[in-house]
């Protein structure tokens, strides 16, 4: 299957008409973009091939370190991950909330369904088959678009960040018009990552247990711990809610087509009645599916994004906490050294390095956390307002359909 999507161009959806306007909202929403003409990044196109997706990253910039003002490169998911990891591993950025990496494109479920459909082709009528196929393609397209949007959000966040936007790797990522020959991590590295994470989370518990002298950070720490868990929960629950909403919409769809077959059996009054109701359901199920899709975009994706963003913020707090612990240990070591009058100079240097590191992190972290909150509130506001507006729009659409259909039906009977 080849699917080509450019989120920028509105007209390209042949299948699903949901998503078209709404999907653009996402990236502007989650990232509180300071619209800055000096560096603008977007994904202008994307191509889905078997198990990989190729994103066309389009950059417009007036910054002097780029050779041109406008250019595009093709990037894959792994390269995004590489960029993200390079930020995380860079000590310089320890004091910043590293924009969360985009989730891996996952078309497996959708592909599987498509395959099943192919197998079951014989057992259904042509109309049913076409309808099912359209549905699945729509679903596939929706996932695809979301994937693209998530990757774009990541780039936009980086481009909007006062420090990260200047990162060399980022520039290479944007400009170098060949394969970055990034490879996925091999098993050994993955295992190492796993152990690193185990150590980190164990350490995280340790570090979190240390009482912070700074009330701001102490507060942020408790807040983020709880917030992260809750947003995780809400995200999972919203997914389930939306999934059952989609199933209900699918049912209505099938009811519509069965009513249609019933209605075409004969030409009686009742059959005409069935046809009208079928027509109605055909329309309302589209709206119902859009309600589910919009809830997915405005609610579930928002929550999912903040699940990852709050994790990134937690990571920042961990790094600061770690630095604090290091600093305190260095202080103790210095005291000890002074008492013994041994290696005092070295201990002093270490203590100073730790102190500087801690202070540097604290300084930027405070601002980062304040920004995080501002961004979050703005994003929630925007998304919730849009959600409510879309819900209203759809409910009104449904209402109107029902009213006019009832008018016709009652007039007839």
Partner 1 sequence: MAASSERSPPPFPDSEEPELLEDSDEGADAFTGTSISEMDSPSPDSTKPPKDIFNEPLEDIFSDPLSNINSEPQKKVDTKIPSPSSDEAVDLFSDPLDDDSEVVSSPEVQNPMPDLLNEPVQAPKSDVLGEPPVHKNAARQQDIFEDPPKGSSKSSSVKKAASAELFSDEDEEDLFKELPKVVTKKPQPSGPPVDVFTEVKSDVKVKPQVKDDPTDLFAEEALTAPAPKPSASSSSSRTNGVHSEEHDLFSEATVELSLDSPRNDRKKKDAVKPSVSAPVAPVASSSSKAPSKTLEELEEEESEDTFDLNISVTNPEKVGDGMNAYMAYKVSTQTSLTMFRSKTFTVRRRFSDFLGLYEKLSEKHLQNGYIVPPPPEKSILGMTKVKVGKEDPSSAEFVERRRAALERYLQRVVSHPSLLQDPDVREFLEKEELPRAVSTQALSGAGFLKMLNKATDAVSKMTIKMNEQDVWFDEKIQDVENEEQHMRKLHVMVESLVNHRKELSGNTAVFAKSVAMLGSSEDNTALSRALSQLAEVEDRIEQLHQEQAANDFFTFSELLADYIRLLGAVKGCFDQRMKAWQRWQDAENMLQKKREVEAKLLWANKPDKLQQAKDEIAEWEAKVTQYEREFERISATVRKEVIRFDKEKARDFKRQIIKYLESLLNSQQQLIKYWEAFLPEAKAIA
Instruction: Locate all alpha helices (DSSP H) within 11-125, ordered by sequence.
Output: 23-30, 77-89, 108-119
- Closest approach, Cβ 186 to partner 1, in A, equals 38
- Closest approach, Cβ 250 to partner 1, in A, equals 8
Chain mean position to CA 224: 19
CA pseudo-torsion sign 337, 343, 347, 349:
positive
- Closest approach, Cβ 217 to partner 1, in A, equals 14
- Closest approach, Cβ 289 to partner 1, in A, equals 13
Question: Is 60 or 276 the residue whose CB approaches partner 1 more closely?
Answer: 276
What does each C-alpha distance from 205 to 68, 209, 230, 244, 302 come to in angstroms?
47, 6, 18, 37, 27
Contact 265, 259 (CB under 8 A): no
CA dihedral 202, 206, 212, 218 (to 10 degrees): 40
Question: What is the b/e burial string over 191-224, where b = at least 16 CB atoms within 10 angstroms of the residue's CB?
Answer: eeeeeeeeebeeebeebbeeebeeeebeebbeeb
Question: Is 38 or 247 the residue whose CB approaches partner 1 more closely?
Answer: 247
Question: Is 109 or 384 the residue whose CB approaches partner 1 more closely?
Answer: 384
Residue 347 neighbours by CB under 8 Å, 6+ apart:
330, 333, 334, 336, 337, 338
Question: What is the b/e burial string over 381-400, where b = at least 16 CB atoms within 10 angstroms of the residue's CB?
Answer: ebbeebbeebeeebeebbee
- Closest approach, Cβ 359 to partner 1, in A, equals 25
- Closest approach, Cβ 267 to partner 1, in A, equals 12
- Closest approach, Cβ 400 to partner 1, in A, equals 9
Question: Is 134 or 261 the residue whose CB approaches partner 1 more closely?
Answer: 261
Name the 3-class secondary structure at 95.
coil
> Pairing relation of β-strands 70-76 and 3-5?
unpaired
Contact 52, 156 (CB under 8 A): no
Question: Is 163 or 255 the residue whose CB approaches partner 1 more closely?
Answer: 255
Question: Is 218 or 233 the residue whose CB approaches partner 1 more closely?
Answer: 233
Question: Is 234 or 331 the residue whose CB approaches partner 1 more closely?
Answer: 234
Which positions touch partner 1 (CB under 8 A)?
Answer: 219, 223, 226-227, 230-231, 233-234, 237-238, 240-241, 243-245, 247-248, 251-252, 254-255, 258-259, 261-262, 265-266, 268-270, 273-274, 277, 280, 284, 373, 376-377, 380-381, 384-385, 387-389, 391-392, 395-396, 398-399, 402-403, 405-406, 409-410, 413
Question: Is 101 or 379 the residue whose CB approaches partner 1 more closely?
Answer: 379
Tell me whether residue 240 is exposed, middle or buried, using C-beta atoms within 10 angstroms of its C-beta: 0 to 12, 13 to 18, 19 or more. exposed
DSSP classification of residue 62: -
Q: What is the C-alpha to C-alpha distance for residues 411 and 413, in angstroms, rounded to an integer?
A: 6
Residue 38 dihedral angles phi and psi, to the nearest 5°: -70, -30
Question: Is 116 or 243 the residue whose CB approaches partner 1 more closely?
Answer: 243
- Closest approach, Cβ 154 to partner 1, in A, equals 24
- Closest approach, Cβ 413 to partner 1, in A, equals 5
- Closest approach, Cβ 409 to partner 1, in A, equals 6
CA pseudo-torsion sign 207, 212, 217, 219:
positive
Question: Is 38 or 222 the residue whose CB approaches partner 1 more closely?
Answer: 222
- Closest approach, Cβ 308 to partner 1, in A, equals 15
Contact 87, 168 (CB under 8 A): no
Question: Is 51 or 215 the residue whose CB approaches partner 1 more closely?
Answer: 215
């Amino acid at each position: 299957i080849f699917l080509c999507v450019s989120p920028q161009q509105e007209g390209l959806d042949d299948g699903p008409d949901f998503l078209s306007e709404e999907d653009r909202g996402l990236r502007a929403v989650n990232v509180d973009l300071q619209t800055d003409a000096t560096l603008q990044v977007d994904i202008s196109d994307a191509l889905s091939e078997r198990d990989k997706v190729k994103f066309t990253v389009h950059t417009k910039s007036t910054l002097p370190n780029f050779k041109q003002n406008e250019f595009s490169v093709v990037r894959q998911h792994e390269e995004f991950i590489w960029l993200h990891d390079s930020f995380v591993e860079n000590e310089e950025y320890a004091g910043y909330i590293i924009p969360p990496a985009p989730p891996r494109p996952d078309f497996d479920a959708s592909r599987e369904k498509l395959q099943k459909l192919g197998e079951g082709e014989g057992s259904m009528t042509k109309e049913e088959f076409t309808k099912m196929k359209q549905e699945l393609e729509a679903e596939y397209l929706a996932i695809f678009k979301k994937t693209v949007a998530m990757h774009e959000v990541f780039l936009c966040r980086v481009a909007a960040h006062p420090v990260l936007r200047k990162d060399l790797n980022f520039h290479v990522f944007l400009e170098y018009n060949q394969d970055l020959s990034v490879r996925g991590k091999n098993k050994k590295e993955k295992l190492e990552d796993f152990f690193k994470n185990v150590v980190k989370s164990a350490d995280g518990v340790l570090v979190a247990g240390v009482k912070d002298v700074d009330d701001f950070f102490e507060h942020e720490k408790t807040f983020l711990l709880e917030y992260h868990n809750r947003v995780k929960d809400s995200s999972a629950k919203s997914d389930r809610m939306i999934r059952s909403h989609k199933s209900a919409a699918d049912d209505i769809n099938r009811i519509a087509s069965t009513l249609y077959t019933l209605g075409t059996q004969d030409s009686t009054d009742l059959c005409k009645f069935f046809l009208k109701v079928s027509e109605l359901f055909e329309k309302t199920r589209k709206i119902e599916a859009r309600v589910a899709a919009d809830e997915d975009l405005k609610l579930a994706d928002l929550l999912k994004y903040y699940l990852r963003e709050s994790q990134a913020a937690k990571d920042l707090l961990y790094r600061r906490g770690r630095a604090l612990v290091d600093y305190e240990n260095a202080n103790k070591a210095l005291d000890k050294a002074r008492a013994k009058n041994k290696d005092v100079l070295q201990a002093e240097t270490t203590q100073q390095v730790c102190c500087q590191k801690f202070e540097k992190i604290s300084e930027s972290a405070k601002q980062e956390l304040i920004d995080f909150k501002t961004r979050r509130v703005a994003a929630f506001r925007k998304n919730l307002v849009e959600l409510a507006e879309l819900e209203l729009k759809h409910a009104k659409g449904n209402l109107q359909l029902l009213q006019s259909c009832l008018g016709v039906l009652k007039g007839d009977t």
